[in-house]
C-alpha cells in the first residue's frame, strides 16, 4: 500500500527550495502537486540521455518491439501512479481532475503507450466505479489499483446510439446473478488486468435502460468460461496490449452490477464527463514532445545557409503550434475544473473539449511535420520521437470516444442552451480558470446527463463587455476588442441557427452542416477559456508570460482564423513574444502548457 | 416564460409526440406506432434526450431528461407527461421555471 509521505523524500527536491527564493509562495495544495510532478519528472529522467532506460531512445526501441518498457512499469508502480486514479477518501491521491491530467501529462510526454497502457486505461475503467459503485466495489477497486493491479474497460463506442442498440454482449439475469455471453474487442490490457469493467446488455428490450455496467473480478469467475482473443496490431500505441475477451455462459454474482441494473447508459454518460475532460489534458503531453522535437530540429538544422528557425514560415508554424497547445490547455483546464465547479454544466464542456482539443493537437502536429521534412517519417535517431507521438495521438484520443461521438452528445443540447443560457445566464466563476488554485471536492452525483446551463459561453460575453471598457490589454486593446466582438457575433449567429434547427438535425442523422455548428461552438468555448485564464493570470507576478496579453491575442487570432473571421492587425512584437517564450522553454526544458513545468528531473 | 395554458389531455400529448417523432425520423405520421420503442426507430440514447427539451419548450415545464428512457414509447410518454401536467395544474406549479 502506498504511503503519501514516503513518496517525496525532502532530499530529492532541492529544486523546490531553490525556486522558493525567486518565486512567490504557492498554496500548500499547489506545492504538493508540483512535488508530485517533479518527482515523476525526476524518475523519468533526461529524455535525451541515451543511457536513460526511459529516454527517447529506449522508448523508440520499445515501440519498435511493440512492447511497453517493463522497467518503466516498475518505476511507475514505485511512483504510485495508480494512486492518481483513486479518490483520496479511498487512500489514493485523486482529489482534482485538473491535477490528474497534469500529472498524467508527464507520462504522455515521454511515452503515450505507457500513459495509456500502464495507467489511463485503469482510470477509464474505474471512473464508473467511483461514480456509481457501492462502498464495497469502491473499496475493492481502490485496493486493487493501490496494490499495483489493473482494471480494463470494455465499453465499445458507447456514445454511438446504433452501436448500443446492436451491442450483443449480454449479461442476462439468471439465478439472482448474471450470465455473460459474447466478446469485447480492441480492449487495452484485457488479458493482464485483474478486473474488468464491462458494458453489457442486461435486458433484451430495446432502449436506453437495457444495459448495465458490471465489475468483473476475474479471479472469482470460472476460468473455463473466459477466453482471450489474439492481440491486435496497431498503428500507434504499439506497446499497448490491446486484445479481446470472450465469455461463454460465464456466471456472475448479482453484486457485480455497478449502479443499477439498466442504468449503464446513464452511468456511462455521467462518468464519461470525467474522462472526456481529462484525456485531452493528458494527450497535450504528446503534442508537447512533438513540438519540442521539431523546435529542436529548427534550432539545430542549417538550411539555405541559415538555421531553420530563421525561416519565417518555420517560425510561424511552430509559434502557431505552441499557441494551439496553450488554447488546448485553457480548454482542458476549464473542462477538468468544470466537473468540480460547474458539474451540472460539465456534459457539454467535457464533450466539446474531447472533440476539439485532440483535433487542434492533431492538426498542429501535421503542420509541424512540414518543418521536419524527411525527418517526419524517420523512425529513429534524434527526431524519431516525433513520428511516434504523431501515431500515438489519434489512438489515445479515438480509443475512448471519437470526435463524432462527442459531437453527437453536444448537438442535441445546443438548441436548449442557446435558448436558455446564451446571452442570459450567469458567467462562470473565476475558479473555473484558476491555473494554480484549489478546487471544491468532486461530487459525481451532481454530474448531469444534459447540461443545465452554459456559464462558459456566458463568460465569453462578460469578457467581451470587459474588453470594451478596460484597457488592461494595453497596446493589445484594439486587437482584443475586435477579436471578442467577432466571437460574440459568432455566438449570436449560432443562437439563431440553433433555434432554427429542424428536429431531425438534432440526432446522429443530422446534416453534416450541424456538426459544423458544434465545431464553431467548441471554438467559442475555447476562446472563452483563453480569456478566462488570462483574466485570472493578469495580475500574477509568478506567471509573467501568461499575465501579458501577447499570447492571449495571438491565441484568439488562431481561433478566429478557424472561424473564418477577419483578423485584426496585431502590435509589433506579438508573435516574437510567443516565439521567444517557445525558444526559452525549449532551451530550459520547460513544458509548453499553462504550467511551464521544468522537465526531465533537471531540478 | 411560457404562456399559461389549459391542461392538455393525454390524446393531445400523443398527437404532439407523433408529430415530433415524424419530424425526427423523417417518416410520415401514419407510419409511427404508439407502442414501438423510440430506440427501434433508431432514435439513439442521446438524441432521445432532446425530446425532453422539446417537451420543456412546448409545455414550459421541466422533467428529468431520462423520462424519455423510462417511458420509451409514445403511448407511455404521453400518459406520463399528461399525468405530470395534471399534477402541476392541480398544485399550481405549471408554467415552468
Summarize pLDDT for A493-529 with one digit per residue, the tens: 999 999 888 877 776 667 788 889 999 999 999 999 9
Interface test with A, best of B20, B44, B74 (most A CBs within 10 A): B44
| More confidently predicted of A159 and B65 | B65
C-beta separation of A50 from A459 below 8 A: no
Confidence check: pLDDT of A155 > 80: no
CATH 1.20.140.10 residue ranges of chain A are 267-587
* C-beta atoms of B24 and A206 within 8 A: no
pLDDT value of residue B93: 62
User: Between chains, do B69 and A208 touch, taking CB under 8 Å as contact?
Assistant: yes
pLDDT for residue A14 is more than 60: no
Pick the residue with more confidence: A343 or B62?
A343
Give B90 to chain A, closest Cα distance, Å.
26
Task: Show residues of chain B in contact with A208, CB under 8 Å.
Answer: 39, 45, 48, 66, 69, 72
Q: Is the pLDDT of residue B9 over 80?
A: yes
Partners of B66 on chain A (C-beta within 8 Å) are 208, 266, 449
Q: How far, in Å, CA of A277 to CA of A59, rounded?
A: 27
Band of the pLDDT at A17, cuts 50, 70, 90? very low
**Residue A128 banded pLDDT, cuts 50, 70, 90:** very high
Instruction: Inform me whether the pLDDT recorded for A576 exceeds 50.
Output: yes
> Which member of A161, A409, A450 has the closest CB to residue B65?
A450
CA dihedral B1, B3, B9, B13 (to 10 degrees): -50
Taking CB atoms and an 8 Å limit, are A503 and B66 in contact across chains? Answer: no
Which is higher by pLDDT, A216 or A26?
A216
Average pLDDT, stretch A162-181? 81
Sign of the Cα torsion A575, A579, A582, A588 reads negative
Q: Which of B45, B47, B65 sits opposite A506 (nearest CB)?
A: B47
With an 8 Å Cβ cutoff, are B46 and A165 in contact?
A: no
Q: What integer best gives the mean pLDDT of chain B?
A: 83
Question: For position A3, what pLDDT does the model report?
Answer: 37
The Cα–Cα gap between A254 and A314 comes to 60
Q: Which residues pair with A184 in a beta bridge?
A: A245
Range A289-297 average pLDDT: 95
Mean pLDDT of chain A: 90
C-alpha distances (whole Å) from A213 to each of A73, A256, A259, A400 are 28, 8, 7, 16
Interatomic CA distance for residues B1 and A249, integer angstroms: 55
Kind plus residue range of the DSSP H or E element containing A285: helix A264-300
> In B, which residues are within 8 Å of A450 by CB distance?
49, 52-53, 65
Q: CA–CA separation, A318 vs A582, rounded Å?
A: 8
State yes or no: pLDDT of A162 exceeds 50.
no
CATH 2.40.110.10 in chain A is located at 152-262
pLDDT score of A380 more than 60: yes
- Which of A255-259, A324-328, A504-508 shows the lowest per-residue confidence on average (mean pLDDT)? A504-508
Kindly report the nearest CA distance between residue A198 and chain B, in angstroms.
Answer: 18
Contact A250, A179 (CB under 8 A): yes
In a 13 Å sphere around the CA of A509, the CA atoms on its Cβ side amount to 15
B42 vs A390, residue with greater confidence: A390
In this predicted complex, what is the ipTM? Answer: 0.85
User: CA-to-CA distance for A526 and A332, rounded, in angstroms?
Assistant: 9
Q: What is the DSSP string of A570-592?
A: --TTHHHHHHHHHHHHHHTTB-S
Asked if B59 reaches chain A (Cβ–Cβ under 8 Å), the answer is no
**pLDDT attached to residue B42:** 79
Q: Are A282 and A97 in contact, with CB atoms under 8 Å apart?
A: no
A161: Cβ contacts below 8 Å, ≥ 6 apart:
A408, A508, B39, B42, B43, B44, B45, B46, B47
Distance from B6 to chain A by nearest Cα, in Å?
24
Spell A58-87 as b/e; 16+ CB within 10 A means b: bbbebbeeeebbeebbebbeebbbbbbbbb
A contact set with B (CB within 8 A):
159-162, 164-165, 205-209, 265-266, 269, 408-409, 412-413, 415-416, 419, 448-450, 502-504, 506-509
CB proximity B39 to A under 8 Å: yes
Confidence of residue A400 (pLDDT cuts 50, 70, 90): low
Q: Name the segment(s) of chain A with CATH classification 1.10.540.10.
A: 4-150
Break chain B into its structural domains and give their ranges: 42-97
> pLDDT tens for residues A48-86?
999 999 999 999 999 999 999 999 999 999 999 999 999
Contacts of A266 in chain B (CB under 8 A): 66, 69
CATH class (in words) of the domain with range A152-262:
mainly beta
Position with higher pLDDT, A4 vs B61: B61
d(CA A156, CA A43): 34
pLDDT of the residue at A465: 94
B-interface mutation test, from A507, A508, A510, A515, most B Cβ less than 10 A away: A507
CATH topology of domain A267-587: Butyryl-CoA Dehydrogenase, subunit A; domain 3 (1.20.140)
Q: Calculate how close chain B gets to A416, using CA atoms only, in Å.
A: 6
Beta-carbon separation of A208 and B26 below 8 A: no
* Per-residue pLDDT at A105: 97
Q: Is the predicted pLDDT of residue A5 greater than 90, yes or no?
A: no
**pLDDT of amino acid A452:** 86
The pLDDT confidence band at residue B45, using thresholds 50, 70 and 90, is confident
For domain B42-97, the question of CATH label 1.10.357.10 is answered with no
Contact (CB<8Å) B43/A161: yes
Residue B40: list chain A partners with CB under 8 A: 206
Of A493, A333, A350, whose CA–CA distance to A413 is shortest? A350
Closest CA in chain B for residue A410: B46
Percent of chain B past pLDDT 70, that is, above it, reads: 87
pLDDT, tens only, A335-357: 999 999 999 999 999 999 999 99
**Interval A182-196: pLDDT, tens:** 988 888 999 999 999
* Residue B26 in this model has a pLDDT that exceeds 90: no
| CATH class name, domain A4-150 | mainly alpha
Question: Which pLDDT band, with edges at 50, 70 and 90, does A379 fall under?
Answer: confident
Residue A573's Cβ-count burial label (10 Å; 0-12, 13-18, 19+) is exposed
Amino acid at each position: 500500500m502506498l504511503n503519501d509521505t514516503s513518496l517525496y523524500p525532502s532530499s530529492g527536491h532541492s529544486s523546490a527550495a531553490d525556486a522558493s527564493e525567486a518565486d512567490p509562495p504557492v498554496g500548500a495544495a499547489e506545492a504538493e502537486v508540483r512535488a508530485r510532478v517533479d518527482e515523476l519528472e525526476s524518475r523519468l529522467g533526461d529524455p535525451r540521455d541515451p543511457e536513460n532506460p526511459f529516454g527517447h531512445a529506449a522508448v523508440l526501441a520499445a515501440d519498435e518491439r511493440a512492447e511497453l518498457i517493463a522497467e518503466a512499469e516498475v518505476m511507475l508502480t514505485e511512483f504510485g501512479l495508480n494512486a492518481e486514479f483513486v479518490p483520496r477518501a479511498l487512500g489514493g491521491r485523486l482529489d482534482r481532475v485538473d491535477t490528474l491530467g497534469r500529472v498524467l501529462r508527464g507520462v504522455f510526454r515521454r511515452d503515450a503507450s505507457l500513459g495509456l497502457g500502464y495507467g489511463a486505461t485503469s482510470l477509464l475503467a474505474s471512473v464508473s466505479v467511483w461514480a456509481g459503485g457501492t462502498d464495497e466495489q469502491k473499496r475493492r477497486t481502490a485496493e486493487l489499483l493501490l496494490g499495483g493491479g489493473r482494471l480494463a474497460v470494455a465499453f465499445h463506442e458507447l456514445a454511438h446510439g446504433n452501436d448500443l442498440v446492436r451491442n450483443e454482449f449480454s449479461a442476462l439475469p439468471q439465478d439472482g446473478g448474471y450470465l455473460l455471453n459474447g466478446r469485447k474487442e480492441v480492449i487495452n490490457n484485457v488479458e493482464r488486468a485483474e478486473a474488468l469493467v464491462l458494458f453489457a446488455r442486461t435486458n433484451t428490450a430495446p432502449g436506453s435502460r437495457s444495459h448495465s455496467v458490471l465489475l468483473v473480478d476475474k479471479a472469482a469467475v470460472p476460468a473455463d468460461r473466459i477466453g482471450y482473443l489474439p492481440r491486435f496490431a496497431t498503428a500507434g500505441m504499439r506497446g499497448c496490449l490491446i486484445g479481446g475477451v470472450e465469455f461463454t455462459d460465464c456466471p456472475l454474482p448479482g453484486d457485480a452490477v455497478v449502479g443499477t441494473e439498466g442504468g449503464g447508459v446513464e452511468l456511462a454518460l455521467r462518468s464519461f464527463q470525467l474522462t472526456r475532460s481529462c484525456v485531452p489534458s493528458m494527450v497535450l503531453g504528446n503534442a508537447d514532445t512533438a513540438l519540442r522535437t521539431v523546435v529542436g530540429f529548427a534550432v539545430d538544422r542549417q538550411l539555405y545557409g541559415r538555421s531553420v528557425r530563421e525561416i519565417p514560415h518555420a517560425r510561424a508554424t511552430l509559434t502557431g503550434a505552441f499557441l494551439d497547445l496553450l488554447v488546448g490547455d485553457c480548454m482542458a483546464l476549464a473542462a477538468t475544473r468544470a466537473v468540480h465547479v460547474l458539474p451540472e454544466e460539465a456534459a457539454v464542456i467535457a464533450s466539446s473539449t474531447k472533440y476539439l482539443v485532440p483535433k487542434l493537437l492533431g492538426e498542429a502536429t501535421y503542420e509541424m511535420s512540414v518543418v521536419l521534412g524527411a525527418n517526419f517519417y524517420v523512425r529513429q535517431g534524434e527526431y524519431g520521437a516525433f513520428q511516434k507521438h504523431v501515431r500515438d495521438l489519434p489512438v489515445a484520443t479515438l480509443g475512448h470516444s471519437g470526435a463524432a461521438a462527442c459531437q453527437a452528445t453536444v448537438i442535441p443540447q445546443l438548441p436548449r442552451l442557446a435558448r436558455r443560457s446564451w446571452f442570459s445566464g450567469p458567467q462562470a466563476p473565476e475558479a473555473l480558470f484558476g491555473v494554480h488554485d484549489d478546487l471544491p471536492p468532486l461530487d459525481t452525483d451532481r454530474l448531469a446527463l444534459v447540461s443545465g446551463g452554459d456559464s462558459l459561453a456566458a463568460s465569453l460575453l462578460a469578457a467581451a463587455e470587459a474588453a470594451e471598457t478596460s484597457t488592461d490589454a494595453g497596446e493589445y486593446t484594439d486587437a482584443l476588442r475586435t477579436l471578442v466582438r467577432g466571437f460574440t457575433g459568432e455566438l449570436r449567429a449560432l443562437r439563431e441557427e440553433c433555434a432554427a434547427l429542424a428536429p431531425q438535425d438534432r440526432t446522429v442523422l443530422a446534416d453534416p452542416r450541424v456538426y459544423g455548428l458544434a465545431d464553431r461552438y467548441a471554438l467559442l468555448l475555447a476562446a472563452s477559456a483563453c480569456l478566462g485564464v488570462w483574466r485570472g493570470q493578469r495580475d500574477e507576478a509568478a506567471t509573467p508570460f501568461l499575465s501579458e496579453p501577447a499570447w492571449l491575442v495571438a491565441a484568439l487570432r488562431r481561433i478566429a482564423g478557424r472561424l473564418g473571421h477577419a483578423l485584426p492587425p496585431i502590435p509589433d512584437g506579438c508573435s516574437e513574444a510567443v516565439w521567444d517564450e517557445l525558444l526559452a522553454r525549449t532551451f530550459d526544458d520547460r513544458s509548453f502548457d499553462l504550467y511551464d513545468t521544468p522537465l526531465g528531473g533537471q531540478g | 416564460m411560457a404562456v399559461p395554458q389549459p391542461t392538455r389531455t393525454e390524446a393531445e400529448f400523443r398527437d404532439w409526440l407523433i408529430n415530433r417523432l415524424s419530424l425526427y425520423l423523417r417518416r410520415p405520421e401514419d407510419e409511427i406506432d404508439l407502442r414501438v420503442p423510440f430506440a427501434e426507430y433508431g432514435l439513439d440514447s442521446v438524441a432521445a434526450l432532446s425530446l425532453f427539451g422539446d417537451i420543456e419548450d412546448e409545455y414550459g415545464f421541466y422533467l428529468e431528461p431520462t423520462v424519455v428512457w423510462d417511458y420509451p414509447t409514445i403511448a407511455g410518454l404521453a400518459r406520463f407527461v399528461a399525468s405530470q401536467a395534471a399534477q402541476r395544474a392541480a398544485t399550481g406549479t405549471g408554467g415552468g421555471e
